[in-house]
């Protein structure tokens, strides 16, 4: 273990030496790592037990910090300029996002569907940018593959981890403030989560309690907040309340809000789409014995969230030689759901205009 880590330090020292020739520019970092990628064998780090042994190395110990990114996050190196983190996934997924860093990513284990998007921005309001998200291309990452993470919004993407486990390793720059905060993307807007303040979290917790204790008070409080908050605060609130405000007894409040104007309508459209995306992601992740082909079909629905997006992903994958029976696999996935979830799945599929 100590010998392996000493080898890793030598590898990182060489990367740093080469990167200095680019003035440690984030834009060029992934190229430098690619030049050195063959110098050191990273594949042992795909083994979870080896990662756990490494945890007791003093240099790895001091690098641990709390992260909700992946199901088991292990940062094994950080020199203040760049870092190495291992992301162990056990079936969960990543929302559509851009990057405030650049990196070379190594797929160590499992298959992941990577979908890259274009965002055509039309207007902005504070932390929200309105526009249209569309699928640029889709690919499958397999063990042994490498992929480039470019800084900023050049490669806005989402990743669906199909195998259990899936392990990826990133050699990446530290966050680079000149690229701004990372944003998340939804079908009609992009947002950064600066509004995720303690007061917003308190409001959400209170609303969840009211929904159970006093539904009439839930409605009046939600109306009050939607009338007095900014668009981005309202977006964050509705996003986090997920399907709750769309229950029959509350939905009129959301409808009234969406009718207030074009921005409000777009905001609600993205919240509904996000609920549908989360529905397919969460139901697929919860089924431990789900065949990978069916997980892929559910992931394609979540990634595309429209007939055009879904068709583009299927076309791109088939051009890469990945054969599938999308319709059959999706139908088979839907049949595994309980009755009320099956109704829900069909409702979201019709919102996405995806025929089954
Ligand atoms: Fe990413």
For residues 326 and 113, give the distance between their C-alpha atoms in angstroms, rounded to a whole number: 14
Q: How far is the CA of 79 from the centre of ligand 1 (A)?
A: 21
pLDDT in tens, 331-347: 999 999 999 999 999 99
45 pLDDT more than 80: yes
**Predicted pLDDT of residue 304:** 97
- Using pLDDT thresholds of 50, 70 and 90, give the confidence band for residue 60: confident
Q: Where in the chain is the domain with CATH 2.60.120.10?
A: 2-193
For residues 25 and 12, give the distance between their C-alpha atoms in angstroms, rounded to a whole number: 16
- For range 102-113, the mean pLDDT: 96
pLDDT in tens, 268-323: 999 999 999 999 999 999 998 899 999 999 999 999 999 999 999 999 999 999 98
**Predicted pLDDT of residue 195:** 75
**Predicted pLDDT of residue 90:** 85
**Predicted pLDDT of residue 151:** 94
Q: How far is the CA of 184 from the centre of ligand 1 (A)?
A: 11
Q: How far is the CA of 16 from the centre of ligand 1 (A)?
A: 22
Q: What's the CATH code, domain 2-193?
A: 2.60.120.10
**Predicted pLDDT of residue 299:** 97
- For range 179-201, the mean pLDDT: 90
DSSP state string for 107-159? EEES-EEEEEEEEEEEEEETTEEEEEEEEEEEEEE-TT-EEEE-SEEEEEEEE
- For range 255-265, the mean pLDDT: 97
Helix or strand (DSSP H, E) at 232 = helix 231-241
CA dihedral 22, 25, 26, 29 (to 10 degrees): 10
Answer yes or no: pTM beyond 0.75. yes
Q: How far is the CA of 136 from the centre of ligand 1 (A)?
A: 15
| 130 strand-pairing partners | 123, 189
194 pLDDT more than 80: no
- Using pLDDT thresholds of 50, 70 and 90, give the confidence band for residue 196: confident
Cβ atoms of 221 and 206 closer than 8 Å: yes
Cβ atoms of 226 and 234 closer than 8 Å: yes
- Residue 244: other Cβ atoms inside 10 A: 15
Q: How far is the CA of 246 from the centre of ligand 1 (A)?
A: 30
Q: How far is the CA of 292 from the centre of ligand 1 (A)?
A: 22
- Degrees to nearest 5, angle at CA 338 with 336 and 344: 100
């Amino acid at each position: 273990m100590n010998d392996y880590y000493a080898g890793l330090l030598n590898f990182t020292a060489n990367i740093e030496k080469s990167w200095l020739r680019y003035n440690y520019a984030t834009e060029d970092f992934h190229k430098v790592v690619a030049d050195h990628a063959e110098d050191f064998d990273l594949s042992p780090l795909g083994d979870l037990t080896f990662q756990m042994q490494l945890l007791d190395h003093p240099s790895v110990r001091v690098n641990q910090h709390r992260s909700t990114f992946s199901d088991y996050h292990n940062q094994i190196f950080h020199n203040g300029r760049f870092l190495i983190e291992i992301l162990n996934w056990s079936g969960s997924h990543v929302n559509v996002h851009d990057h405030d860093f650049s990196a070379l990513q190594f797929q160590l284990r499992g298959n992941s569907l990577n979908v890259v998007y274009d965002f055509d921005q039309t207007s902005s309001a504070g932390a929200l940018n309105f526009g249209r998200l569309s699928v640029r291309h889709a690919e499958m990452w397999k063990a042994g593959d490498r992929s480039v993470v470019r800084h900023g919004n050049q490669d806005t993407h989402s990743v669906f981890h199909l195998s259990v486990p899936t392990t990826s390793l990133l050699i990446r720059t530290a966050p680079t403030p000149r690229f701004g905060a990372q944003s998340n993307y939804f079908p009609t807007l992009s947002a950064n989560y600066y509004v995720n303040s303690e007061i917003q979290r308190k409001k959400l917790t209170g609303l969840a309690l009211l929904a159970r204790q006093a539904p009439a008070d839930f409605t009046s409080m939600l109306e009050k907040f939607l009338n007095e908050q900014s668009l981005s605060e309202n977006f964050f609130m509705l996003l986090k309340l997920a399907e709750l405000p769309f229950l029959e007894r509350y939905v009129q409040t959301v409808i009234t809000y969406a009718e207030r104007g074009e921005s409000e309508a777009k905001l609600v459209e993205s919240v509904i789409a996000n609920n549908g995306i989360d529905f397919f992601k969460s139901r697929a992740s919860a089924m431990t014995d789900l065949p990978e082909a069916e997980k892929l079909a559910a992931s394609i629905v979540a990634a595309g969230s429209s007939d055009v997006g879904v068709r583009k992903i299927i076309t791109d994958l088939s051009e890469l030689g990945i054969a599938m029976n999308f319709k059959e696999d999706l139908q088979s996935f839907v049949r595994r759901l309980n009755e009320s979830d099956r109704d829900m799945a069909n409702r979201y599929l019709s919102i996405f205009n995806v025929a089954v």
